[in-house]
Structure 1
Amino acid sequence: MTYSLNGSAPLTALGVIRAEGADAAKFLHGQLTQDFALLGQDQARLAAFCNAKGRMQASFIGFKRSPTEILLICHRDLLAPTLKRLSMFVMRAQAKLSDATADFALYGQVGEAAGTPQPAWSIATAGDATTISLYPADGQARALRVAPVALPAPAGPALSEELWLWSEVRSGIATVSQPIFEALVPQMLNYESVGGVNFKKGCYPGQEIVARSQFRGTLKRRAAIVHADAALMAGQEVFHSGDAEQPCGVVVQAAAAPEGGWDAIVSLQIAAMQDGTLTVGSAAGHALTLLPLPYELLADI
């Protein structure tokens, strides 16, 4: 099959939470794994919302539209419960949270459609439209465009959402969805290596666990990219040939590969990446092939 990783795709699986008010940045700073207190309007943030045990309940790409308005882009299947949980902590803060999905059109852009490659999480604005540079996939620039629904769709070629979702997997940056709710700490998705965790900021739910995983050598899982000949889906367990009974990992995000089979981001025990064979679903399931990770893991923070 022929395909082109160039164009813009409407993103139906993502939603938007709006935080507005004088304390919006301060409030989010105290809840998420990244620094929102010092966030300017030229940068976005990758961030996680964790429970008290450091397990991820949601992940976001967040940015400021104005000094008092922040948008959080997250998986739509977790938006409503996440909005409810975050709202419980607002208390006396001058911040209002709402579901703003209906107000904005989200597009994933790849290749020439993404514009001139920029460092990940940098922002370009054109009127009311915001374009956030993302990590590339297979050498192709990628971006997330967020604009009011009244604005025209991006000019240029259309890209299927399926190809966009595949580029998401190939970028190695996972978005937390319902099947992996509260299953992983951020480092199990390599978030500390791709700008998703700030270890110098103040407290947030689960901060002690996240910091302990980083600095006490207790982290035993990492994110990897795999390929299979059969369909994959988030939440499937992964097994290693050395132990047919206990899973060694979980599929986090998967997409059909345009040249056949499926690719996926999986969170695996580090030991399971060294040797032996990997299968999905059971020890007798379809084989998984480890693919190169497209970015370097940080050796030190």
Structure 2
Amino acid sequence: MSWSQFIAAQPLVEHAEASTAPALSHCDHLAVIRAHGEEAGHYLQGQLSCDLHDVDTGGHLTGMHLSLKGRGLVSVRTVRDGDDYLMLCPTGQSEAVIKSLMKYRLRAKVDFQVDEQAVIIGLTGQLPTTLPEPGQTGRNGQGLWLRYPNTDHALLISDKERAESVWTVLAQDRTATNANGWRQADIDAGEGMVYPGAEDLFLPQVLNYDVTAGVNFKKGCYTGQEVVARMHFKGKLKQRMQRIDYTADVELLPGEPLRNSNGKAAGEVVSSARTANGYSALVVLRRDTDGVLFKDDEPLNSTLGTLPYTLPWKD
């Protein structure tokens, strides 16, 4: 039986009954791009907002590739795999990621390709004691593990040949969920990405990448760096990504605008997921928001949620 046949036969649900419950997620909403070549690291260092030196020493970071005006065109979670770099991105953006990164390649000795054999599995709650330390990566017989820094979450990059046996082992005593389950995990972790529909909207620090090490202000030049640095050193952010929980039966799509109770623009959607009690979402909001939001004229019945880190608002 192939991996696709196996996973199609699994009784996947949208979410665990509680966000802290042990769960296993089929993350087919994410793709893996492999960057290889003797200049791969040097080239990516000049294209992504994060510092690959942290990746080279065993970490994994989500950084942006920016437009010239400093807004995220795509975002990727990057990890070292031998001499190569693996970049996790939304499945619908894999070709856009490659196209964006190839734009400045010229004669650099680096190539990019989607890893069609890669399988991404997410683990939530009661992580095995054998996994790497928070924020670090490690490989075992199941594949390459990426453990989140602030929450009880981890991603596993395996391959189609091993995926069925790996899934069977990990599924013991865990709720098996589809991609929605991992989108909820990322919301719980306060980990935002640029999904299709939200391209060229957000500065890295607006998605809190200055808190999660997704942007580095000392690493040197990269595309869009001047705008990002100017905001950091001389500007004052008036909006940041926050979490909301809401009960209206409305799916929020990336990039959609939201309004406050006065009908004024309040922010934009980063991502959303269905939960046992309605929906949760990561949304870029103005600092003074009360969390009462509307999509068009429809109330979301929303409240501000919490993130596992503190937002560094500047007075």
Q: CA RMSD in A?
A: 2.2
Q: Aligned with 2:96: secondary structure?
A: helix
**Displacement of 1:96 after TM fit?**
0.8
The letter of the residue matching 1:262 is Y
What does residue range 23-34 of structure 1 map to in structure 2 within 5 Å? 23-34=39-50
What does residue range 43-82 of structure 1 map to in structure 2 within 5 Å? 43-67=59-83, 69-82=84-97
Q: TM-score, normalised by structure 1?
A: 0.88
The letter of the residue matching 2:166 is A
Residue 12 of structure 2 is matched in structure 1 by none
Matches of 2:233 and 2:157 in 1, distance apart?
36
Q: Aligned with 1:192: secondary structure?
A: coil
Structure 2 segments unaligned to the other structure (5+ residues): 1-15
**Displacement of 1:26 after TM fit?**
0.3
Matches of 2:71 and 2:94 in 1, distance apart?
17
**Displacement of 1:135 after TM fit?**
4.2
Change (3 A) 1:98 1:215: same
Matches of 1:298 and 1:279 in 2, distance apart?
23
Which of 146, 153, 161 is equivalent to 2:166? 153
Which of 99, 103, 125 is equivalent to 2:117? 103
Residue 237 of structure 1 is matched in structure 2 by 257
Matches of 1:105 and 1:227 in 2, distance apart?
30
Matches of 2:133 and 2:235 in 1, distance apart?
29
Aligned residues of 1:18 and 1:97 also touching (Cα < 8 A): yes
Aligned residues of 2:33 and 2:114 also touching (Cα < 8 A): yes
Are 2:307 and 1:293 aligned?
A: yes
What does residue range 1-301 of structure 1 map to in structure 2 within 5 Å? 2=17, 5-37=21-53, 39-40=55-56, 42-67=58-83, 69-100=84-115, 102-113=116-127, 115=129, 119-127=133-141, 129-137=143-151, 141-151=152-162, 152-154=165-167, 155-157=169-171, 158=174, 159-161=176-178, 162-230=180-248, 231-234=250-253, 235-241=255-261, 243-244=262-263, 246-258=264-276, 260-271=277-288, 273=289, 275=290, 278-298=292-312
Count of aligned positions: 289
Aligned residues of 1:8 and 1:113 also touching (Cα < 8 A): no
**Displacement of 1:53 after TM fit?**
0.6
**Displacement of 1:112 after TM fit?**
2.3
Q: Calculate percent identity across the aligned residue pairs.
A: 26
The letter of the residue matching 2:220 is G
Change (3 A) 1:214 1:120: farther
Structure 1 segments unaligned to the other structure (5+ residues): none
